[in-house]
């Protein structure tokens, strides 16, 4: 396919889930949220950024987050997932790929996420080098059903669309 055409689009999806437990801090979409429980994982367990990274890597057919940032590597213990996203964006840039938009859905019965959505959109947009109008964050509840509804975990889904930038003439 000729590079830089309107058809040079790539789509990716990602999903992530971490246990919601006492004694951990809660960080979602790069934003610290005050709550009596938090997400447990090898890194900071930010399911929103992990799902987004997987969607971005998927769109570029670059594998998944674990391929690039192994959860058995001590170097990634407690790591800020904003750094993962920045590194993923650098990889995409190196391939001439730019984010068109991303749509993220978070399922959690508690805490209430709506007040934090604008901050998440702003943080993610800045990390991705796009405007907040290109980043959608939606929150939904498990309504008492499934592990999210029972408050055992938080799950996030992401879809991302990439566009290959036109190469300079000559």
Binding site for Mg ion (CB under 5 A): 16, 50
* Residue number, 10 or 50, with CB nearest to Mg ion: 50
Least gap, CB of 4 to Mg ion (angstroms): 34
* Residue number, 14 or 164, with CB nearest to Mg ion: 14
User: Minimal CA–CA distance to 70: which of 82, 84, 60, 52?
Assistant: 84
CB-nearest residue to Mg ion: 50
Reduced to 3 states, what is the DSSP secondary structure of residue 145?
coil
Beta carbons within 10 angstroms of residue 155's beta carbon:
20
Q: Is 84:27 a contact under the CB 8 Å cutoff?
A: no
* Residue number, 79 or 98, with CB nearest to Mg ion: 79
The secondary structure of 81-143 as a DSSP string is HHHHHHHHHHHHHHTTEEEEEEEEEEE-SSS--GGGHHHHHHHHHHHHTS-GGGEEEEEE--T
The contacts of residue 129 (CB under 8 Å, 6+ apart) are 89, 99
Least gap, CB of 79 to Mg ion (angstroms): 11
Least gap, CB of 160 to Mg ion (angstroms): 16
Least gap, CB of 142 to Mg ion (angstroms): 19
* CB-neighbour burial class of residue 151 (10 A; exposed 0-12, middle 13-18, buried 19+): middle
* Residue number, 92 or 158, with CB nearest to Mg ion: 158
Least gap, CB of 20 to Mg ion (angstroms): 13
Report the alpha-carbon distance of residue 166 to residue 5 in Å, rounded. 7
* Residue number, 105 or 134, with CB nearest to Mg ion: 105
């Amino acid at each position: 396919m000729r590079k830089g055409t309107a058809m040079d689009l790539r789509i990716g999806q990602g999903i992530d889930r971490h246990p919601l437990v006492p004694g951990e801090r809660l960080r979602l979409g790069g934003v610290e949220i005050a709550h009596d429980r938090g997400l447990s994982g090898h890194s900071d367990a930010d399911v929103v950024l992990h799902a987004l990274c997987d969607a971005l890597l998927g769109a570029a057919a670059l594998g998944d987050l674990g391929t690039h940032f192994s959860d058995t590597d001590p170097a990634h213990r407690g790591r800020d997932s904003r750094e993962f996203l920045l590194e993923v964006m650098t990889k995409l840039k190196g391939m001439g790929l730019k984010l068109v938009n991303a749509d993220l859905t978070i399922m959690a019965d508690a805490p209430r996420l709506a007040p934090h959505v604008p901050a998440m959109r702003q943080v993610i947009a800045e990390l991705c080098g796009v405007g907040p109008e290109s980043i959608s964050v939606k929150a939904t509840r498990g309504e008492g059903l499934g592990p999210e509804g029972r408050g055992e975990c938080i799950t996030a889904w992401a879809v991302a669309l990439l566009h290959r930038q036109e190469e300079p003439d000559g």
